[in-house]
Amino acid sequence: MDLTDVAALAQPTGEKIMLLVLDGVGGLPLEPGGLTELETARTPNMDALLAGGDAGLHVPVATGVTPGSGPGHLALFGYDPLRYRVGRGALAALGVEFPLQPGDVAVRGNLCTVDGEGVVTDRRAGRIATEEAEPVLDLLDGIRVAGAQTFVRPVKEHRFLLVLRPEEATDADIEDTDPGVTGVAPLDVVAGSPSSDRAARIAREWLARVPETLSGQPRANMVLLRGFATLPDWPLFPDVFRMRSLAMAAYPMYRGVARLVGMDAVAVDDDPGALLPALEERIDDYDFFFLHVKGTDKAGEDGDFRRKVDIIERVDEVLPALRETGIGVTLITGDHSTPAKMKSHSWHPVPFLLHGGPGRGHRSEGTAGLGESECARGALGTIRGCELMPLAAARAGRLGKFGA
């Protein structure tokens, strides 16, 4: 179902929706036949919601596909990530909260090392430390070119963000300059379409200034660019679902993705408990709340099964108070799986729990507790991630009838 179809059915009600994302919550047992992180966690409050709610699994992007954080969250917001694609440059801008404007061209950069002939000898400038990279990036930020403002912002280590703000409109269909290997020179800036010629010319001119600007640097004496992108022109979440919408997240990346689809966003401390006062303060001003918990993903990435379990349990403790602020419909899930066993994002379907709403349609599963196995048996089956928001909206009575 297209977002235009959703928008045609959306109707306002007084029912508030909370999307509580435990980043990377989906997991795996350490041993075959064992319990996952979520199944191991004692979650009496989620279990109580499950008894009167619905559960299932969702596939954020497509079967077998491991989602990045951007596409994973877009799916949760109802945007099919296969259709609504964000360029790497735009994601980088979101990640550092650079206020990207319509018309801007954003691109991810790497500091790199080239030899006397301009041949790349290290694509990451020896994985230069962030503190060492920052003054180098300040130099790049000082480059001026004709026809555009330019901005350089640090991301982490060798990674940075370059934004071109051209005086006249341009597309950003431009090929990467990163050759992907060492032993060759950086690639030329090539426009993939005539409408991108202007941006390509600006990028070319900017790049031409880099060698002289970094000539005194021992390691970081050149840059590689990839993922030229503009701010996407998409239907906005608050318009599609007809809800005043707020994101609460400790990390800029998640506030950025929320802002990308038109939500307001506020920073909160990186602890599940910090979400409660933030929610209480703004409960009357919004209809939809996206709450982001990062710790589950970090623990998963660290391979720390027990810490991931602990964070899930802490979220469970704060859950009743979150709901009591005035939440009608609660959707708890992850943007992808990050099994501690794998120490990385994975393609595994993600458990979800949906509860509440005046149109509530509880189908008890007679379950022992929230977890992947129970969700796989849930009444809602395995659905696409982008189907979750329509489902939550339906629970809140916010989707009207299709056809007569």
DSSP state of 337: B
Chosen residue from 68, 186, 256, 328 binding its own copies by CB under 8 A: 68
Q: Which helix (H) or strand (E) holds 153?
A: strand 148-156
- CB atoms under 10 Å from CB of 171, counted, come to 18
- Please identify which residue in 12, 14, 82, 192 interacts with its own copies, judged by CB under 8 A: 82
Q: How far is the CB of 211 from its own copies (least distance, A)?
A: 28
Binders in 360-379 for its own copies, by CB under 8 A: 361-366, 372-373, 376-379
Residue 288, strand partner residues: 17, 245
Among 41, 45, 70, 163, which residue sits at the site for its own copies (rule: CB under 8 A)?
A: 70
In angstroms, give the least distance from the CB of 134 to its own copies: 21
* DSSP one-letter code for 214: T
Report the residue number, 100 or 214, with the smaller CB distance to its own copies. 100
Strands 350-356 and 54-59: antiparallel
Q: Does 145 bind its own copies (CB under 8 A)?
A: no
Q: What part of residues 10-29 is at the interface with its own copies (CB under 8 A)? A: 28-29
* 209/360 with CB nearer its own copies: 360
- Span of 120-128, 170-178, 323-331, 341-349 interacting with its own copies by CB under 8 A: 341-349
Tell which one of 57, 128, 207, 243 touches its own copies (CB under 8 A). Answer: 57
Tell which phi-psi region holds residue 147, choosing left (phi > 0), alpha (psi between -120 and 50) or beta. left
In whole angstroms, the minimum distance from the beta carbon of 401 to its own copies comes to: 5
Q: Which CB sits closer to its own copies, 70 or 272?
A: 70
Q: Pick from 15, 16, 81, 297: which binds its own copies (CB under 8 A)?
A: 81
Q: Which of 7, 47, 51, 217 binds its own copies (CB under 8 A)?
A: 51
If one asks whether residue 88 binds its own copies (CB under 8 A), the answer comes out as yes
Footprint (CB under 8 A) of its own copies, residues 377-396: 377-384, 387, 389-394
- CB under 8 A, 24+ apart: contacts of 400-403: 400/9, 400/10, 400/11, 401/9, 402/5, 402/9
Check residue 293 for interaction with its own copies (CB under 8 A). Answer: no
Cβ-contact 291, 248 below 8 angstroms: yes
CB 137 within 8 A of CB 161: no
The owner of tokens 């018309």 is 103
Show the tokens assigned to 87: 């360029």
Nearest CA to 164 out of 130, 187, 190, 141 is that of: 141
